[in-house]
Amino acid sequence: MSILVDKNTRVLTQGITGATGQLHTRACKEYGTKMVGGVVPGKGGTDFEGIPIFDTVEQARKSTGCNATVIYVPPAFAADAMLEAAAAGIELIICITEGVPILDMIKVKAYLAGTKSRLIGPNCPGIITPGECKIGIMPGYIHKPGDVGVVSRSGTLTYEAVYQLTQLGIGQTTCIGIGGDPIVGTTHIDALKLFNEDPKTHAVIMIGEIGGTAEEEAAEYIKQYFKKPVVAFIAGQTAPKGRRMGHAGAIISGGRGTAADKIAALKAAGITVAMSPADLGSTMKSVLEGKR
């Protein structure tokens, strides 16, 4: 088992003919993901390396029966792409695009709340169920099927965590990059709820960073409802106040969103916090061994 995506997931690429769209559609297909179609307005009827291209998501949905879509279109068009996917009834929308205006995301998120679609991202690496389905830009080979779930606001730091796990022989059920923007479709709590219900997931690594209060809210949720061990890491312990650290959402503002606050909240909820990013894998290993 896994969450959200598996070997039966049928994936569409919005923006399949752009450089990024081409590169990653190819890589995901090679990984074994069922890449069933692409959407590029005006290029309907053509194909990308045998993958049919459609003018609209609605047409693609009808023809291919896709139930997930990945968006690589430029920031100015990303919100429209997300809305189009939701309007076409696509169950899972993954937006990789970095730099989407925040007011666009506020509207998209409000619109999606009234639909059956789930959004992951934007500004995220995507989602992978190792050995079955990879949607996004993460390097596939560092992953290994197993029973640890991973949820993270970061891209490369997630790869780091996954790599450490795999090196120690610990595989993953599903790894979700939820994105580094202030407003994202799927939050830490949303992902944790899914992992909670997944019998195959035995433990979870949660990677957060400075900015906002998503980790504090997740800590409260874990304390009350989460049935499995969680190992957490918060990036930005040395970040100064009031400065944006690369990610649009990684900023300590009004004295809120510090790593210290988040770590304190996580510890108070009984969560094991790795203080060094080099100890993510080994901390999970000892937690799993302690459990057995």
Partner 1 sequence: MNIHEYQAKQILARFGAAVPKGRFATTPDEAAAAFTALGQPKAVVKAQIHAGGRGKAGGVKLLTTASDVRDFAAKLLGKPLVTHQTGPEGRMVRRVYVEEASDVARELYLGMLVDRKAGAISVIASTEGGMDIEEVAAKTPEKILTEAINPLVGMAGYQARKIAFALGLKDKQVGQFATILGSLYRAFNETDASLIEINPLVVTADGRVICLDAKMSFDDNGLFRHPDIRELRDPNEEDPAETEAAKFDLSYVHLDGNIGCMVNGAGLAMATMDIVKLYGAEPANFLDVGGGANTEKVAAAFHLLLADKRVKGVLINIFGGIMRCDVLAQGVVEAARQVKLNVPLVVRMEGTNVVEGKKILADSGIKAVTASDMADAARRIVKEIGA
Contact status: 235 vs partner 1 (CB under 8 A): yes
Instruction: Identify the residue among 22, 44, 58, 111 touching partner 1 (CB under 8 A).
Output: 111
Asked if 37 and 14 touch (Cβ cutoff 8 Å), the reply is: no
Q: Which residue type, as a one-letter code, is found at position 253?
A: S
Q: Which stretch binds partner 1 (CB under 8 A): 6-14, 28-36, 87-95, 239-247?
A: 239-247
Q: Pairing relation of β-strands 10-14 and 68-71?
A: parallel
Instruction: Identify the residue among 30, 47, 106, 291 touching partner 1 (CB under 8 A).
Output: 106
Site for partner 1 in 200-229 (CB under 8 A): 207, 209-214, 217
Q: Which two tokens stand for residue 251?
A: 């900023």
Asked if 129 and 105 touch (Cβ cutoff 8 Å), the reply is: no
Residue number, 111 or 223, with CB nearest to partner 1: 111
Applying CB under 8 A, the site for partner 1 has a residue count of 64
Asked if 280 and 274 touch (Cβ cutoff 8 Å), the reply is: yes
Query: Which amino acids are annotated catalytic?
Result: 247
d(CA 38, CA 172): 28
Instruction: Identify the residue among 89, 99, 145, 169 touching partner 1 (CB under 8 A).
Output: 99
3-state per-residue secondary structure call for 99-166: CCCHHHHHHHHHHHCCCCCEEECCCCCEEEECCCEEEECCCHHHCCEEEEEEEECCCHHHHHHHHHHH
Q: What is the DSSP string of 272-286?
A: EE-SSGGGHHHHHHH
As measured in angstroms, the least distance from the Cβ of 20 to partner 1 is 8
Residue number, 78 or 85, with CB nearest to partner 1: 78
Contact status: 127 vs partner 1 (CB under 8 A): no
Q: Which two tokens stand for residue 69?
A: 């879509």
Contact flags string 141-170 toward partner 1, x per CB under 8 A? -x---------xxxxxxxxx--x-------
Contact status: 249 vs partner 1 (CB under 8 A): yes
Contact status: 243 vs partner 1 (CB under 8 A): yes
For partner 1, the binding residues (CB under 8 A) are 20, 23, 75-76, 99-104, 106-107, 109-111, 125, 137-139, 142, 152-160, 163, 180, 182-183, 207, 209-214, 217, 233, 235-240, 243-250, 254-255, 259, 275-279
